[in-house]
Amino acid sequence: MREWLEYAAAWLALKLLGLLPRPVARAVGAWLAALGYFLRPPLRRAAISNLRVAFPEWSDAQRLRTIRQLVKHLGWMAGEFSQFPRYTRENIEQIVVLDGFENFAAAQRRGKGVLFLTGHMGAWELAPFAHALYGHPLHFLVRPIDNPRVDALVNRYRCLSGNRPIEKNNSARAVLKILGEASTVGILADQNTSLEEGVFVDFFGVPASTTTGVARLALHTGAAVVPGYIFWDTAVGKYRLRFEPAIELACTGDTARDIRENTARFTRVIEDYARRYPDQWLWVHRRWKTRPLGEDPVRAL
240, β-bridge pairs: 97, 231
- The candidate with the shortest Cα–Cα distance to 287, out of 230, 211, 232, is 211
Q: What integer pLDDT is reported at residue 301 of this predicted model?
A: 42
pLDDT tens profile 115-126: 999 999 999 999
Half-sphere exposure of 216 (CA within 13 A, CB side): 15
Yes or no: domain 2-280 corresponds to CATH 3.40.1130 = yes
pLDDT tens profile 269-282: 999 999 999 999 99
Which pLDDT band holds residue 202 (cuts at 50, 70, 90)?
Answer: very high
pLDDT tens profile 136-163: 999 999 989 999 999 999 999 999 999 9
Q: What integer pLDDT is reported at residue 112 of this predicted model?
A: 97
Q: What integer pLDDT is reported at residue 67 of this predicted model?
A: 98
Q: Give the chain's end-to-end CA distance (angstroms, integer).
A: 44
Helix (H, G, I), strand (E, B) or coil at 249: coil
Q: Where are the domains positioned within the chain? A: 2-280
pLDDT tens profile 219-234: 999 999 999 999 999 9
d(CA 272, CA 119): 12
Which pLDDT band holds residue 292 (cuts at 50, 70, 90)?
Answer: confident
d(CA 295, CA 203): 17
Q: CB under 8 Å to 110, separation ≥6 — which residues?
A: 222, 224
